[in-house]
Amino acid sequence: MYRHSLHKRVAIAFAMCVAVLSIAWGFAFFAAIRLSEDRVLTQQLQVASDNYPAITTNLKAYDKVDNLPQSLQAWAQTNPAVGLYEFDSEELHVAVIDTGNEQSPGFVVFDVAQIEASSSEDWWLLLIISSLVGTLGLLGFGLGIVVMRRALAPVTQLAKAVADIDPEQLSNEDYKRIHANRYTNDEVGMLANTIEQAFERVSAFIARERYFTDSASHELRTPVTVITGALELLEQSQLTPADMKVLDRVRRATHDMNTMIEMFLCLARETDDGLYDEQFLVMPLVRKAVEQQRYLLNGKLVGVELDELANPIIYGHAQAFSIAVNNLVRNAFEHTLAGQEPIAILIKEHELLITNQFSDGDAQHTATETASHGYGLGLGIVQRLCERNGWSFSLHADTAHVVARLSW
């Protein structure tokens, strides 16, 4: 994972290139100065060799004031102290030397006019070169910024197009917002095509899911409704106790089938349609689940202890919560053997606990399945329903009990 954005990393790389070029120019400028100095010395040697044996030099010594250049005689008569003096107007450098004679000190005069005249051309050339290089550097920097922005424009455009798509509200046409065909055939174009195809597949999957959910909602509920109506008609006829017992079993199976249909449809829906923001009481749904599943305890002589330490109101999908509680209660009732201790259902402010005892023969089986996050298909569905609603579910088994915990 990079610490900086692509835009910033390209800018940093460009700045480093400019810094390297600047350092290189500095070394080149230093080398040019040394070359200029060597050129001046070479010119002076050439002048001296051309006048040989009458060698002229810019450095001369004088032991008398009268022999000094006319422009320096008035100054020399003021008895200047020993030291170095510079006369810019005459382009002369003078050293006053102590000769031991206070009345007549020595003078060494260095005429830099010829040297400065020889090197002035080089300095002007260096100044022009520096100005040109500086101007080109600024132009290059500005051009680099423009090129960088143009180079990154497709990436920025693609990132914005992807960011504008809400994954939670993905429609069938969202993939077209990528417009992969507007990008060139390079890495960005390949990335845009891949993203567009991925969004297209996801959109197609969501469309199939919605179609299936809508169709299944009708096709699956219709037979159950027919069976329920037939059961109601049968209840009005004269039935023997044995027939009523069979009819009751069919009614329970029909209810279980309807619950399972609603459960799978609830898990299949991609959007919640506002149902996951419902506000409901926990206690009525728990009592209803206990009454619906109590037939599983017939003949087991096992009681149910329902303790309400709080009366919580939670947010989520009320039907999903009812399905989850029904599965937990059914699981506890089915795995409780005859004559075992009562099943304890405890309602707290932020959790629901369902505790049941099981036989030694089931202990190893339950512990193994608990570790794999699934004690039957029903509890796996409970886990998914909790994840969809932001709740949490856990199943803990020890040597004597199984505790199912549903938290919100």
Does residue 358 share a domain with residue 318? yes
Does residue 85 share a domain with residue 2? no
Q: Residue 99 domain-assigned?
A: yes
Does residue 391 share a domain with residue 288? yes
The predicted pLDDT at position 368 comes to 40
Torsion of CA 261, 263, 266, 268, to 10 degrees: -70
Kindly state the tokens that stand for 223. 């037979």
CA of 349: how far to CAs of 200, 304, 308, 316, 345, in Å?
44, 20, 9, 16, 14
Consecutive 10-residue averages of pLDDT for the chain (408 residues): 60 74 73 68 63 63 86 87 84 84 80 63 66 73 76 81 74 72 76 84 79 73 85 83 84 79 69 69 91 85 86 86 88 86 91 82 44 51 84 87 91
Instruction: Supply the pTM of this predicted model.
Output: 0.48
First to last CA, the chain: 34
Domain limit, last residue, from 243, 262, 289: 243
Q: Residue 75 domain-assigned?
A: yes
Q: Residue 18 domain-assigned?
A: yes
Domain limit, last residue, from 198, 220, 243: 243
Does residue 198 share a domain with residue 308? no
Q: Residue 253 domain-assigned?
A: no
Burial of 370-385, coded b for 16+ CB within 10 Å and e otherwise, reads beeeebeebbebbbeb
**Phi, psi values for residue 9, rounded to 5°:** -65, -40
Does residue 103 share a domain with residue 26? no
DSSP label of 51? T
Does residue 139 share a domain with residue 51? yes
Alpha helices in 269-376 (DSSP H): 282-293, 318-334, 360-371
Does residue 130 share a domain with residue 160? yes
Residues 266, 320 contacting (CB under 8 angstroms): yes
Q: Residue 92 domain-assigned?
A: yes
Kindly state the tokens that stand for 233. 């008609």
Give me the sheet containing 392-397, strands edge to edge. Answer: 304-308, 343-347, 351-357, 401-407, 392-397
By three-state DSSP, how is residue 97 classified? Answer: strand
Does residue 285 share a domain with residue 365? yes
CA of 273: how far to CAs of 216, 278, 321, in Å?
17, 11, 16
Tell how far CA 28 is from the center of its chain. 44
Does residue 35 share a domain with residue 107? no
The predicted pLDDT at position 123 comes to 64
Domain limit, last residue, from 84, 111, 138: 111
Q: Residue 250 domain-assigned?
A: no
The predicted pLDDT at position 122 comes to 61
Does residue 140 share a domain with residue 128? yes
Residue 312: name the closest of 353, 257, 355 by CA.
Answer: 353
For the chain, the domain total comes to 4
Does residue 150 share a domain with residue 22? yes
Does residue 160 share a domain with residue 26? yes
Residue 366 is part of a domain; what is its CATH number?
A: 3.30.565.10
Instruction: Give the type of residue at 260.
Output: M
Q: Residue 248 domain-assigned?
A: no
Q: Residue 145 domain-assigned?
A: yes
The predicted pLDDT at position 293 comes to 85
By three-state DSSP, how is residue 391 classified? Answer: coil
CA of 360: how far to CAs of 366, 369, 400, 403, in Å?
10, 15, 8, 16
Q: Which domain holds residue 299?
A: 275-407
